[in-house]
Structure formats: structure tokens, C-alpha cells
Amino acid sequence: MNPVRLFLVHENPLHREALSRSLEAHAEVELIGSLSRSQVANERLRRDGVDLVLVDASIEQEAALEVTRNLRRRFPGLRLLPLGLEGGADVVRFIEAGANGYLLQDASLAELIRTAVDVYRGRPPCSSRVADMVRLRIVELSRSAPRLRAPTVALTKRENEILEQVADGLGNQEIALELGIALATVKNHVHRILDKLGARSRREAVRVAFENGLLKGVARLRPRRRPPAS
């Protein structure tokens, strides 16, 4: 298996260099580069084929959130993994900003490597408690935000099934395993659901679906099956 190509965004030069050297010693990952937040603002990360960006959030968390949002807007397909979070509430904020996973302050280097590989493979390391917080936050936003009315839509039975899985917090690969269908098929269904609901993101699609009665409540978290190692 090819190593996951990482890029590190860290504000502290000493810590950035130390973590970079530690990452370079592991065959599972390949460090493409490392920069501060101000430097990465103008960096074309896709130029070097970066798979995943590590964003340090232990210093100036609000600035790290903004970096995460900006990277998500500029590179929609890029995996983003914030480091140094304090707990569940912080995790929810970064997931809302576009992060694909998270690493807490007390995590080890081995956990960082394992989490980066899991996130790259589409296995977000999200505990059931955090998953519940994310879904409840979506419902909270749907109640407080201006109501968006979806056009009159008729979702197919399969699209409804996939919409429920999306509301449950599952990624495309997990949905494919859950329903026993191809990953490409899931992606096509998700695109059609977004188009039908007039939504720009999965989160917005869930919110619009709740507002229009397509989802009746917060679904119970089902046990997840991990995809086989490749």
C-alpha cells in the first residue's frame, strides 16, 4: 500500500520541525511539506499530490478553524485532520468546518499515524458520543437557521436509504458496505440527492431533509463495519 502523503500546518517552528522529523521515520506516511498558517494560505497543495493535511489546533484554535474552512473551500476533495483538540465540543466545531477526523491533545504519535491512515481510507475515527453530538448539532442548526424549502422532490427508495445513512454520519465507503453496493453507486446517489434537495453539502442536505419532513428524527447510531484493509 502506498504511503499517505501528508502536509503539516503548524504555527510553532520548533514543534513543526520536531513533528516533521518524527513523521518522516514512519513508512505508512510520506511528509510532502510543512508550513505555518500564513504561508499555507498561498500554497497549491494539490501541486505535490497531497492526500491529507494535518492542521495543528493546539495554538490559536479560532485561526486553525479558519484555515480548515479555507482549505475545505479551496480543495473539496482534500482530507483534513486537526490536531490537539480538547474534547467533544471542539471536535464538533472542526467537523462543521470541514474536518474529516480529529486527534485529541493527549494522542500519541502512533495514534496520529493510525488516524491519518484511517481518515485517508475513509474511516473517520468518530466515537458514538461525538457522532451523536454532530447529529444533534445539525438538528439544532435546522431549528435556528432560516428555513430552506426544498423543491418538490420524489426521492427513490434507495435515495431515502442513503439519505438516512448520511444523516447517521456515515461516509460513502461505510454506506457502500452497509447497503452492499458499489462505492461509485453511492457517490452517484449522493450527488442526485444533493441536486434534488438544492443543497451544496451533505450537512445542508440533512438540514433541508429534516425541515421538509424527509427525515423524521435523529437516527440511532448503528454499529459501523470497517472496510477490509487494502
Residue 105: how many CB atoms within 10 A of its CB? Answer: 12
- Strands of 29-35's sheet, edge to edge? 29-35, 4-9, 52-56, 79-83
pTM of the model: 0.57
Q: Between the CA atoms of 205, 209, 215 and 216, what dihedral angle is there, to the nearest 10 degrees? A: 130
pLDDT tens-digit readout, 67-93 = 999 888 888 788 999 999 887 778 888
- Alpha-carbon 107 to chain mean position: 19
Residue 56 above 90 pLDDT? yes
Residue 230 above 80 pLDDT? no
pLDDT tens-digit readout, 121-169 = 877 665 555 555 666 665 565 555 555 454 556 788 899 899 988 888 7
56: left (phi over 0), alpha (psi -120 to 50) or beta: beta
Q: Specify the pLDDT at position 162.
A: 93
Q: Between the CA atoms of 96, 215, 123 and 120, what dihedral angle is there, to the nearest 10 degrees? A: -50
Q: Specify the pLDDT at position 228.
A: 45
Helices (H), 121-201: 128-144, 157-167, 172-179, 183-197
Q: Write the DSSP string, 168-186.
A: TT--HHHHHHHHT--HHHH
Q: Mean pLDDT over residues 17-43, rounded? A: 86
pLDDT tens-digit readout, 189-225 = 999 999 888 888 888 888 888 877 787 544 433 444 4
What are the grid coordinates assigned to 117, written together?
491512515
3-state secondary structure of 213: coil
pLDDT confidence tier of residue 48, bands split at 50, 70 and 90: low
